[in-house]
Amino acid sequence: MPKVYTGDLTKMFDIAGKKAVIFGGAGGFGEAIAEGYAANGCSVCISSRSEEKLKEAKARIEAKAAPGVKVMYLAGDAGDEEFVKSAVEKITAPEGLGGCDILVNAQGINKKMWSWEIDTDYFEKMLHTNITSLMLTNKYFGNWMKDHNLDGDAYVKPEPGQPNLNKGYGKIINFGSVRGIRAVANGGMGNVPYNTTKGAVEMLTKAFAADLRPNIQVNAIGPTITYTPMMVGLLPPDENVRNGIAGSLPAQRIGYEIDVVGPAIFLGSAASDMVTATTIYPDGGLVATS
């Protein structure tokens, strides 16, 4: 049956005891969310391609983790189907996290290219990293949750060519962008490839929400321009000057990594059980007012 929250009203946002897998977790949005989850009692496995960066991020996350929280990492490429399949097995095994309740896809790459000079090979790389890898993690972790997080319901073996009828619970959070629904005005600023991939994330999220129903909520977070490590050197070093870029918005500032943590906790908790197939935009009002 579709689940409705009937628990303690003071625990609706509680993620303590949950287990989260965060791709792109070695920096930027992914690490910020991992820190927020771990601080609130949720065990986490972070994953990216660089083992060195994962080790460094793991130490930072552990420093902020609540007592008893497990922090682990798994190095590999989320765009490699065999790696994703093995990641499900390793992370959900007793020696891993022992399960998965929340999947976060914060991986992605970007390169500005004017339309007349789009590098086809890099465009394909962006499609693979920004879309295909999300399809793979949604597919394998989403259906693992659907088959295993059953809360006592009987398991139903999926039939070839038919929907998966199991009703296991879980939360999936994909990272989109305001650029998934709004192009950049005044010439586009070389964002054709990025806009294309983030637009696809919007529909991938909606489609997986329909497929994995009823107890797995699939949503996206769509930030605005944010001061992540990737943007250091690209944005002005002075905070006031940086925020001036967004001076016309209601929030009158650009985004910071912490701005996605609250939405990620909400979307990972029981408080969002009726929220699915949608995108939350921590964008300072950009989508609504520009």
Identify the structural domains of the chain with CATH numbers, from first to last: 9-225+255-278 (3.40.50.720)
Burial class (CB in 10 A: 0-12, 13-18, 19+), 4: exposed
3-state secondary structure of 103: strand
The per-residue pLDDT for 231 is: 78
Q: Report how far residue 22's alpha carbon sits from residue 33's, in angstroms, rounded to the nearest whole number.
A: 8
Q: Angle 158-161-167 (CA atoms, 0-180°, nearest 5)?
A: 35
DSSP label of 222: -
Compute the mean pLDDT over every residue in the chain, rounded to the nearest whole number. Answer: 96
Q: Report how far residue 31's alpha carbon sits from residue 2's, in angstroms, rounded to the nearest whole number.
A: 32
Summarised one tens digit per residue, pLDDT across range 208-230 is 999 999 999 999 999 998 988 77
Q: Report how far residue 264's alpha carbon sits from residue 271's, in angstroms, rounded to the nearest whole number.
A: 11
Q: Report how far residue 50's alpha carbon sits from residue 178's, in angstroms, rounded to the nearest whole number.
A: 27
Question: How many C-beta atoms lie closer than 10 Å to residue 245's C-beta?
Answer: 13
Mean pLDDT of 224-242: 85
Phi, psi of 280 (to 5 degrees): -95, 130
Q: Is the link from the previous residue into 223 a cis peptide, with omega within 30 of 0?
A: no
Q: Report how far residue 62's alpha carbon sits from residue 60's, in angstroms, rounded to the nearest whole number.
A: 6
Q: Report how far residue 67's alpha carbon sits from residue 206's, in angstroms, rounded to the nearest whole number.
A: 36
Q: What is the dihedral of CA 261, 263, 268, 270, to 10 degrees?
A: 130
The per-residue pLDDT for 89 is: 98
Direct distance between the N- and C-terminal alpha carbons of the chain, in angstroms, rounded to an integer: 42
The per-residue pLDDT for 232 is: 80
Q: Report how far residue 131's alpha carbon sits from residue 262's, in angstroms, rounded to the nearest whole number.
A: 24
Whose tokens are 């990293």? That residue is 129
Q: Report how far residue 7's alpha carbon sits from residue 180's, in angstroms, rounded to the nearest whole number.
A: 36
Mean pLDDT of 158-167: 96
Task: Report yes or no on whether pTM surpasses 0.85.
Answer: yes
Summarised one tens digit per residue, pLDDT across range 20-79 is 999 999 999 999 999 999 999 999 999 999 999 999 999 999 999 999 999 999 999 999
Q: Report how far residue 38's alpha carbon sits from residue 287's, in angstroms, rounded to the nearest whole number.
A: 31
Amino acid found at 222: G
Closest CA to 79 of 107, 121, 51: 107
The per-residue pLDDT for 234 is: 74
Check pLDDT > 80 for residue 160: yes
3-state secondary structure of 129: helix
Sign of the Cα pseudo-torsion (22, 24, 25, 31, in order): negative
Of the pLDDT bands very low, low, confident and very high (cuts 50, 70, 90), residue 203 is very high
